[in-house]
Amino acid sequence: MSDFTIVENTAVGSGTEIGHFTVIHDSVIGENCRIWRFDNLYGVSIGDDCMIGSLVEIQEDVQIGDRCRVQSHSFVCSFVTLADDVFVSHGAKFVNDLYPPSGNKDEWEETRVQNGAAIGTNATILPVEIGENALVGAGAVVTEDVPENAIVAGNPAEIVGYVDEE
């Protein structure tokens, strides 16, 4: 591991590499992960074989499954769960506070992204559930649940197709 800071209470799995200037505390990081530079992770649980790009913030009470990729400049707020094999593209943002800045954690809502879903660049995800293998288009603003295998795009995001259509 290179120069990084683990403030306290963090377990790092074997084979995990952490880049320079990354702050991690009160977290569990799985095996064989790659955490790039300038990240801020606190109170998060990350599974095995994950990649977290540069300049990412992941807040407390986030659960990330195995083999997930969270690309650079993304923001994953509290109460987000990414199941296994989820892809979050560059600059995607999650929102848990529908009436910001409430500052009242009791009013924040959760988001669940199911296995194999992919979220496009600069998408904004409000508190919803995104189904298995769903695709969220670049720049989409997701305000409602997305069914499994659905492709959504736009603001607000609407279903434009399904990944299993031929």
pLDDT digits (tens, 9 = 90+) for 80-133: 999 999 999 999 999 999 887 777 888 899 999 999 999 999 999 999 999 999
Enter the pTM of the model: 0.93
Structural contact between residues 35 and 16, judged by C-beta atoms closer than 8 angstroms? yes
Closest CA to 125 of 93, 148, 156: 93
Q: How many domains does the chain have?
A: 1
Would you say residue 4 has pLDDT above 60?
A: no
Give bridge partners of residue 1 from the DSSP assignment: none
Tell me which residue range forms the domain holding 43.
5-162
User: Angle at CA 66, nearest 5°, toward 22 and 3?
Assistant: 20
CATH at residue 134:
2.160.10.10
pLDDT confidence of residue 28: 96
